[in-house]
Amino acid sequence: MFKVKTVKRLRYIGIIEGFSSLLLFFVAMPIKYIFGLPEFVSVVGMAHGVLFTLYVILIIQSAMVLKRSLGWIAKLFIASIFPFGPFLIEPGLRCEQRALMREPND
């Protein structure tokens, strides 16, 4: 059950981190440059930075718990750099979570 919770936590933080990235790039930054209000970038940027850091930590922690390869880590990390990346890898993580739920023991 711990492995399932690990993947679930990674998925959820990935989705939240992905939304924070989109919010930063497509809302806060245009507000900064169009209306001259840099405060939005400061607040959203800080939140995104914290979420990104947490996501990277969870990628490494999940890889250790699930005994995944360096390639798996690299795939998730590279996806996290791009604004829509976490959404693209989320279905694969969901499938992985379902497969772990079918296993008899953790």
Segments forming the whole domain that contains residue 50: 2-102
pLDDT tens digits along 58-74: 999 999 999 999 999 99
The total number of structural domains that make up the chain: 1
Sign of the torsion angle spanned by Cα atoms 11, 12, 17, 18: positive
Task: Locate 77 and state its tokens.
Answer: 């990390």
HEC profile of 1-61: CHHHHHHHHHHHHHHHHHHHHHHHHHHHHHHHHHHCCCHHHHHHHHHHHHHHHHHHHHHHH
What is the distance between the alpha carbons of residues 74 and 57, in angstroms, rounded to a whole number? 13
pLDDT tens digits along 3-47: 889 999 999 999 999 999 999 999 999 999 999 999 999 999 999
Whether the full predicted model's pTM is greater than 0.85, yes or no, is yes
pLDDT value, residue 105: 65
pLDDT value, residue 103: 82
